[in-house]
Amino acid sequence: MKLITFIQNFKVCKVKSIALSLVVFAIFLTGNGTSAQNVSFGMLTDVHYAAIKDNGTRKYSQSLDKITQCIDTMNQTKVGFLIEMGDFKDMPVPPDSEAALGFLGKVETAFSRFRGDRYHVLGNHDEDCISKSQFYSIAKNSHISQKRSYYSFQKGGYTFVVLDACFDSTSVPYDRGHFEWSDANVPVQELKWLENELGHSNKPVIVFVHQLLYGNSKVTIKNAASVRNILEESKKVKCVFHGHDHKGGYERINGIHYYTLKGMVEGNFPESNSFALVSLAKDSIRIKGYGNAVSMSLPIY
């Protein structure tokens, strides 16, 4: 090789290696579980933690061991964030708000062992004998005001929207047990906020809401059709994740996936547990279920 050719090749190689280093550095900068486009996160739902005796298949006190297993797994896999989708705690019978706040403190401490951003979605049991503000005085959402029960955040190439359907059909928020759990609604003010958030997002959107946006039963949000209409009109929403229906489920309606994760409280540990790792890429959503949770690979349209 002539000396001049060698020098030219050397320069090309050096430019290539600098470019590669920059790409590696850029991926490193975006943090755990995220890159410019892709993002992964952990999810769990219906923990129902309470130091009370079991009720049928609901093993309330075992939820601490189950959540610990979930957090250990998520810390090892270095996901971008962790979200629990409602009914984080339960309560004694008769209702005792002091005891319920104690259960919430204990399960939030276990959840806080996750080394990354953490989020909560409100479920009906999160107001069974306490208020929404009491719930958020203990359960913290990363970088989100404690006054907000519905909110959005950005990670990787996605926008994530968390809805609160814990309002009755007259838009009164669930409060200290004063509600009927099957009367779940997303009030008009929140619908307007949702429309606005979707309108302003320049990224694909993933939605989380405790109660279901599909089906037609007691676990379905009363005004689900209005909510779905807004999601569909935006053409940005790819998937909605739910809790609430402990047996889990899946539907696809007009190009949007609706996945319900099985409830963590169900069954004896360690034979039973339920949580999932979700990996989002540009053209697919991969759900890896742990324990009884169902794995799915969903195309993005």
Binding site for Zn ion (CB under 5 A): 46, 87
What is the nearest approach in angstroms of Zn ion to the Cβ of residue 289? 18
Q: Which is nearer to Zn ion, 46 or 197 (CB)?
A: 46
Two structure tokens written together for 27: 């991926």
Q: Which is nearer to Zn ion, 158 or 241 (CB)?
A: 241
Q: Which is nearer to Zn ion, 49 or 158 (CB)?
A: 49
Give me the residues paired with residue 114 across strands.
none
Q: Which is nearer to Zn ion, 87 or 108 (CB)?
A: 87
What is the nearest approach in angstroms of Zn ion to the Cβ of residue 260? 11
Instruction: Please name the residues in contact with 209: beta carbons below 8 A apart, sequence gap of 6 or more.
Output: 85, 121, 162, 163, 164, 165, 186, 221, 227, 240, 241, 242
What is the nearest approach in angstroms of Zn ion to the Cβ of residue 159? 26
Closest C-alpha to 257, from 219, 217, 294 = 294
Q: Which is nearer to Zn ion, 124 or 159 (CB)?
A: 124
What is the nearest approach in angstroms of Zn ion to the Cβ of residue 20? 48
Closest C-alpha to 125, from 94, 91, 167, 155 = 91
Closest C-alpha to 36, from 48, 45, 24 = 24
What is the nearest approach in angstroms of Zn ion to the Cβ of residue 247? 11
What is the pairing mode between strands 274-280 and 284-291? antiparallel
